Structure 1
Amino acid sequence: MNAEGSGFGALGLQESAKPAYVVYKRHDEEPVTMTWRDVFETAQRIAGQINPTGEPQQTGVIITCNDELNFATALLATWLTGATAIPTTNTFRRNLNDRNTHIYNRTAPDIVLHDMTAGAAHSRLLELAPNAEFVNVDSAREARFSGGSSPKISGSLLQYTSGSTTNPKPVLLGPAEVRGGCKAIAKAYGLSTETVGIHWLPLYHDMGLIGSVVMPLWTGGTSVIMRPSVFIQRPSLWFELATQWKADITAAPNFAYEYVLSRLEPSDADGIDLSSMASLIIGGEPVRPATLRRLYAAGPGLGLPRAAVKPSYGMAEATLLVSRFSGDGDKQPFSQRHSSEEITCLGQPVDEVQVEIRDPESDQALEAGDLGNIWITGEAVGTVVPQGANWRVALVKQPVKTGDVGFQDEGAIYVVGRESNLLIIRGANFFAEDIETAILNTQPPGVITGIAALSLDNPEQGTDALYLFIEVAGTVDRIEKKDLNQALSQGFGLKAQDILFLKTRSLPRTSSGKVIRRQVKDLYIDGTFNRFILKGTHHDS
């Protein structure tokens, strides 16, 4: 593959002073900027310290950098050598320690690119990868650079799923799949070298990685990045920076839009103008109709074009994008087929991904409108590495079972829920997502900050019963259990065996904000949730 034919538009900007990555590390500090010239020179310095063993693409390079510019240049450096990039986080907090350990054990990296100093986290890395060569990115950036031949970008990636329902799964995306995924995204959202994106999701997460780091390499556009902690501290800065930079694309999960809208003050809106926004993407978790309607209602006050709001369906297995709704917001379809709650239309599949709905039992293709498992294949779809398999050994590319359940109507995709989130209560089937949506709709926006519906064994009844775990902003005084049970009764003929009101941010989540229900069950059984229960949780239902 040569530089001209790689498709990565940034290759033509190696001498350009145009901003490539702009990073806001704190809400009260000026950003740090790297031009495309700086990015390529730095990446080539780092690449000079990477020594692939054998076939370059079979060399696994873990990228674990706290600094966003280090991360971006380390990724490019890896691809300049032809090695396979494996993005991870460098934190070992409780909710990420298991993920990191799992990734290191399955990957057996040859090289670790990091920006850590000596300490507990660095020692932990050495324990996880005892046979790997460690390269400090900050030191490598100071290496001698003499220029040289025109660089080539490979694009090989071992990307891990978010792990909301199972341990994160490795997905091998070769150069062809990464190029296919980038091509699909650029075409779906009309991206070009003039594109300015505003991002804040973690860079090791598929939506943050592809949107914030990889797509600018593909288009030659500019990526404005704010740290996730900055978004949490000051959510309005997301839209303020979009205004300042006249950004035309941004992407985040559903919860993020609820979070920012519930915290926007009238005075904040005065300084926000999103009229330049062409694609405000919602994906990564169920796209709730109530959230879309809040965005549509808030849009005129924020200058947000209604047609810019684009519900989308994506996953690591497809590089990122599977489908997107691209019609007029006035015609956003919803459906209640196969569900007691409204489901958002996620649009037509991109050309680089083919979608098929299959019968859960026979795996045979179903007719349009029938409910079944969602399978994908195509140019942008990678290979899920089977448990126990070596990702370096040639694997047969096969259709991927996404784990989602849904249907197609006139080609458009509707996701009803996750197969693993199917609750069986008294012999009847319910999707956790439907129950959670019904509960969310009983309260004003912003009151419930997180929710998990589970079916757990009830020895007294000899069957599984419904349990609700609800994060609440503030106190629980304004929420009545009887109102929640009334919604459950009317919508599903159910009553919750127990409802626990928890402090905000008590539920375990993935890097993209998805609640990890399997961990919720474990934390409830072992009593960990007891310290997060809000006073008043046990008032009568």
Structure 2
Amino acid sequence: MTPAKSFTQALAARFAEGAARTALLCLDGEGTADAHTYRELDARARSVAAALLRRRTAGRPVLISMDGGPHTVAALLGCLYAGAVAVPVPPPDASRAAAERTHAIATETDAAVLLTESAHAPELSRRLAEAGRSAVVCLAVDCLPEDGADWTPPALDGADTALLQYTSGSTAAPRGVQVTHANLLATMEALRATLGTDQDSRIGGWLPLHHDLGLIGQLLHPLWLGATAVLMPGRRFAADPLSWLREVARHGVTVTAAPDSAYARCLAEATDDDLAGLDLSALTTAVNASEPVSAVTLSAFAHRFTAAGLRPGVLAAGYGLAEATLLVSLADRVPPAPATVSAEGLERGELTPPVPGHPVRALAGCGPARGVTVRIVDPESRAVLPDGSVGEIWVRGETVADGYWRRPLETAATFGHATTSGEYGFLRTGDLGALRDGELYLTGRIKDALLVDGRTLHPQEAERQLAQSGAPFGSAVVLSTPAEHEEIVAIQEIRGAGWSRRQLADLAERVRGCLHEEFGASLGGVVLVRPGTVRRTTSGKVRRSLMRELYLRGELRPLYASAPPYAAEGG
């Protein structure tokens, strides 16, 4: 069989081969499944493509703003069928911050068309007009006529851009990664080899389709395989985390994925009765990725859900990012035990054995590189570091994109770098980690790392300790503020109501004590806030840069603050 020249060509061939097979199960808020065959998806994609081609969108960005049901899938496939550049954005009923993100993406891409549903088209048109984008045409996918009988695959090759995957914006403004057809084809092969997926797989979850793991891992991959994608509404997971696992069990899902915080929420809420009603024995792989993975969460989840039929080796930590299309590494089916290392060694940038009587850290292994080359590099000298040394993770391979949409400076800063040993073409991820015996361990992000008395403190570890320190503590953010000497501030969510000022002061001291005991860190301030204050991306990552800005501008509206927010000159 001749290899496909584009991802669109590969999809069209797969759709023709398995026309009668079930391609898609879309679950509603009650868990009712709406099934669609490959023949039905192909027909809808052709209709969308015909409408787009009439508007001359080939090679141009097309925004997609929907709720994640079958019309969203038709819109995504229609863009591919038309040779347009699909740009998934948050759904129309998302938060104000999500709406602002959509407006910014519409401006940056200069898209002329937005695909949505008839129920949302008038409101989206109004919002775009208010944002100065009144020329954008909002097409309702659910109202398009059946009009694709004469469709033929567009003349595309691997170098053509298939979609713009906007980054989460957890540490910087969102940027549109130019994912090519070649990137997608290489990623599909890597996923198949890594996960062992085939036409009999059922792959699904609740992650939104404007997130790379949801779009590429849980929709495009099963469609490329000729398998079945099972899409669950994210709002249902938000209201009832265990609904995710119940639907995985009910529909025989074999591969699922979610961020660490999702597994932690299920752990916190599952009762013995819940476990007795679950059968997770069909699962072959449950990926924990898209945010820092906790070794504690991995171990506790694997142990707790054994009672629900979860088999050993199913839960696997992974690492990836939009700039590498999706996947960089994933733990083996029989994962190694978490690496227990010296906390002091980690602060010096080395994975060293624990010292009796001294603090330790448990690191989750994210497996070997999958279809790419990974190097650990000193971010300043660009020298490749030896095994066990912490440095910046650099990635090279066919899945790595060429750059960001219309951002030449950011592209030059991130893509196409060379090490001092003469290896070229690397992506600088901005993530910190180490390789040991081929296993990748993540330790943090360069932009997040805090310098405390000459030591490097990774805030994710501190935040995890705070969140696990018992009631009434919820999510936390630990960050630095500019001062004569860099100060560390903890923003801690507090559950419940009716707290007296004395009680809040005691809780603030608990935060101070936890961080000092675990990390030897003295805080410049503790800010206690209501649940929901800590902003997160769609995948669950803390939006650290935004939280820092809100703190510095004094916009957090704290329940209690042990030190006034720092205000720099000019804001």
Fold shared per TM-score above 0.5: yes
Deviations 1:4-24 (A, max 9, x none): 665746733446332222122
Deviations 1:97-131 (A, max 9, x none): 33223322221124322225454432223445445
State the match for 2:377 in structure 1. Answer: 358
1:382 to 398, 401, 410: 401
Q: Contact conserved, 2:83 with 2:156, CA < 8 A, in 1?
A: yes
Deviations 1:390-422 (A, max 9, x none): 99xxx9964211110111111211111011101
Cα separation, 2, equivalents of 1:36 and 1:315:
29
Q: In the TM superposition, what is the alpha-carbon distance from 1:36 to its structure 2 partner?
A: 1.3
Q: Contact conserved, 1:357 with 1:375, CA < 8 A, in 2?
A: yes
Structure 1 alignment gaps of length 5 or more: none
Q: Contact conserved, 1:10 with 1:219, CA < 8 A, in 2?
A: no
State the match for 1:18 in structure 2. Answer: 21
Cα separation, 1, equivalents of 2:329 and 2:405:
25
Structure 2 alignment gaps of length 5 or more: 348-359, 417-424, 564-571
Q: Contact conserved, 2:203 with 2:230, CA < 8 A, in 1?
A: yes
Pair 1:97 & 2:99 matched: yes
Q: Contact conserved, 1:43 with 1:77, CA < 8 A, in 2?
A: yes
1:213 to 204, 211, 219: 219
Cα separation, 2, equivalents of 1:303 and 1:118:
44
State the match for 2:192 in structure 1. Answer: 186
Cα separation, 1, equivalents of 2:393 and 2:55:
38
Q: Contact conserved, 1:76 with 1:153, CA < 8 A, in 2?
A: no
Q: In the TM superposition, what is the alpha-carbon distance from 1:146 to its structure 2 partner?
A: 2.9
Cα separation, 2, equivalents of 1:332 and 1:396:
31
Q: In the TM superposition, what is the alpha-carbon distance from 1:520 to its structure 2 partner?
A: 1.0
Structure 1 residues 412, 75: CA separation in 2 closer, same or farther (over 3 Å shift)? same
Matched residue SS, 1:501: strand
Cα separation, 2, equivalents of 1:529 and 1:434:
23
1:49 to 51, 76, 93: 51
1:121 to 121, 124, 130: 124
Cα separation, 2, equivalents of 1:29 and 1:166:
36
Q: How many residues align?
A: 525
Q: What TM-score, normalized by structure 1, do the two folds share?
A: 0.88
Cα separation, 2, equivalents of 1:372 and 1:386:
28
Deviations 1:141-161 (A, max 9, x none): x33343655788877121111
Pair 1:267 & 2:270 matched: no
Cα separation, 1, equivalents of 2:54 and 2:446:
40
Q: Which shows bigger deviation, 305-314 or 122-131?
A: 122-131
Pair 1:341 & 2:361 matched: yes
Cα separation, 1, equivalents of 2:206 and 2:340:
28
Structure 1 residues 67, 331: CA separation in 2 closer, same or farther (over 3 Å shift)? closer
Cα separation, 1, equivalents of 2:452 and 2:311:
43
State the match for 2:260 in structure 1. Answer: 254
Pair 1:276 & 2:317 matched: no
Q: In the TM superposition, what is the alpha-carbon distance from 1:270 to its structure 2 partner?
A: 1.7
1:502 to 515, 518, 529: 529
Q: Which shows bigger deviation, 89-98 or 375-384?
A: 89-98
1:224 to 223, 230, 242: 230
RMSD: 3.1
Structure 1 residues 347, 118: CA separation in 2 closer, same or farther (over 3 Å shift)? closer
1:135 to 139, 142, 167: 139
Pair 1:410 & 2:449 matched: no
1:318-337 mapped onto 2 (5 Å cutoff):
318-329=324-335, 331-336=337-342
Matched residue SS, 1:257: helix
Q: Which shows bigger deviation, 306-315 or 365-374?
A: 365-374
Q: Contact conserved, 1:198 with 1:238, CA < 8 A, in 2?
A: no
Matched residue SS, 1:374: strand
Q: What TM-score, normalized by structure 2, do the two folds share?
A: 0.84
Q: Which shows bigger deviation, 378-387 or 112-121?
A: 112-121
Deviations 1:275-304 (A, max 9, x none): 111111001111011101211221221110
Q: Which shows bigger deviation, 45-54 or 513-522?
A: 45-54
Q: In the TM superposition, what is the alpha-carbon distance from 1:132 to its structure 2 partner?
A: 4.3
Q: In the TM superposition, what is the alpha-carbon distance from 1:175 to its structure 2 partner?
A: 0.8
Matched residue SS, 1:85: strand
Cα separation, 1, equivalents of 2:28 and 2:544:
31
State the match for 1:513 in structure 2. Answer: 540
